[in-house]
A = this chain, B = another copy of it.
Amino acid sequence: MKISCTQENLIRGLSVVSRSVGKDSTLPVLANILLSTENKRLKLSATNLEIGSTCLVGAKIEKEGEITIPAQLISNYVNNLPSGNINIEVIDNTLNISSTNSKAKIKGINSSEFPLIPKIETQPFCQVSGSELKQALNQTIFAAALEESRPEISGIYLKSSGTQLIIAATDSYRLAEKTIKSNIKNKGEVELIVPATAMQELNRIVGEEIEAVSLSSSDNQIKFSFDDVELISRLVEGQYPDYQNIIPKEFATEAVVDVGGFISTLRTSSFFSQKDSAEVVIKINNKKSKIEIIAETGEVGKNVSQTASEVKGDDREISFNPQYLLDSLLNIETEKVKFMITADERVGALQPISSDKDNYIYIVMPIVKK
């Protein structure tokens, strides 16, 4: 391989793929990035066997070829070079890289040891914008289950049909569901579960400005592609819970509240709740048009904080883990949110107040008194 490219292009490509490298040292080549030539461009690839990502970088190809080199070293090194042209040549499994004031030889591992990243050649079943996708991921991923004992809910649920994509996550104590629109007429109905780590990595590498992120799948794999980047992940097997049943048809009490005020009030009282089993009591008062939050721990003290709210329906007094509410509120971008409680006080919900208000709902179970 003998190529040249700019420092700027190379650093962008490295930053896209570098987080997909493996951290497990049993297979050293996974800590490497594969450099190869493809269609007159430089292709960077990395994989940890669960997810893999590739990025095509503009380059002048003098001689084709491929090699794998340590991801961290090449990233650190290229990051620290000044902008400008970089010449790269592979000689005897060593990458020779030179620029105006610096020359390096980096020992590589033969590309034949690098695992194959699956290719997905099917047509996209759905296509969404980077900004909507990122907002949806921010509003849902946190609700996925952390433990692996129920793999299906440790993943993120995707359902594509018509001209929309539903993204949902639940850990059985709370559920976040966001609907975004597809740029294309989706191919039939597709339901998939994607590991949360893959969706986090997608969120990291997709920019707000990306107009089209295409989703395609085959053979238990999903591919997200945009510009010159592809992220490929295995899917989680299993049946996602039929969560639609737990979204209440109606709520008996609805309190409209400033997102900022609600966040600050919840945070304030959370300092006074138990560290190991955080719990605050939320009182919704219709006549006084306020939400009052009470937290008390024997050895610490007690706090009562309030925030103004327009309330419809009966007064309520119901306990929540304040962090569960904060997780969602901190990712709501509207000024006001509707906080809702069912008549039996067994379900609470948050919904942003905006023109397209129905596209996000967050369901959260109260703490039932023993």
User: Chain A interface (Cβ within 8 Å of chain B)?
Assistant: 70, 73, 76-77, 80-82, 94-95, 101-107, 264-265, 267-268, 271-272, 299-307
Residues of B within 8 Å of A70, CB to CB, are 300
How many angstroms between the C-alpha atoms of A81 and B101 in the bound complex? Answer: 53
B106 touches A301 (CB 8 A): yes
How many angstroms between the C-alpha atoms of A314 and B178 in the bound complex? Answer: 69
How many angstroms between the C-alpha atoms of A301 and B73 in the bound complex? Answer: 10
How many angstroms between the C-alpha atoms of A300 and B299 in the bound complex? Answer: 55
Closest to A95 in B: B301
State whether A76 and B271 are in contact (beta carbons under 8 Å apart), knowing that A105-B302, A302-B104, A307-B101 are contacts in the complex: yes
A80 touches B304 (CB 8 A): no
Residues of B within 8 Å of A299, CB to CB, are 107
Copy tally for this chain in the complex stands at 2
A268 touches B94 (CB 8 A): no
Give the shortest distance, in Å, between A93 (CB) and chain B (any CB).
11
CB < 8 Å neighbour of A303 from B104, B272, B302: B104
- Point out which of A81, A94, A95, A305 has the most chain B C-beta atoms below 10 A from its C-beta: A305
Give the shortest distance, in Å, between A69 (CB) and chain B (any CB).
9
Residues of B within 8 Å of A268, CB to CB, are 77, 80-81, 102
Residues of B within 8 Å of A106, CB to CB, are 300-301
A305 touches B105 (CB 8 A): no
A304 touches B76 (CB 8 A): no
State whether A306 and B101 are in contact (beta carbons under 8 Å apart), knowing that A82-B264, A107-B300, A268-B81 are contacts in the complex: yes
How many angstroms between the C-alpha atoms of A309 and B301 in the bound complex? Answer: 64
B307 touches A73 (CB 8 A): no
Residues of B within 8 Å of A304, CB to CB, are 102-104
How many angstroms between the C-alpha atoms of A73 and B105 in the bound complex? Answer: 54
How many angstroms between the C-alpha atoms of A65 and B115 in the bound complex? Answer: 71
How many angstroms between the C-alpha atoms of A70 and B271 in the bound complex? Answer: 12
Give the shortest distance, in Å, between A109 (CB) and chain B (any CB).
11
A301 touches B101 (CB 8 A): no
- Point out which of A81, A94, A267, A302 has the most chain B C-beta atoms below 10 A from its C-beta: A302
Give the shortest distance, in Å, between A89 (CB) and chain B (any CB).
14
How many angstroms between the C-alpha atoms of A55 and B200 in the bound complex? Answer: 44
CB < 8 Å neighbour of A103 from B73, B101, B265, B303: B303
B301 touches A102 (CB 8 A): no
A301 touches B264 (CB 8 A): no
How many angstroms between the C-alpha atoms of A95 and B300 in the bound complex? Answer: 11
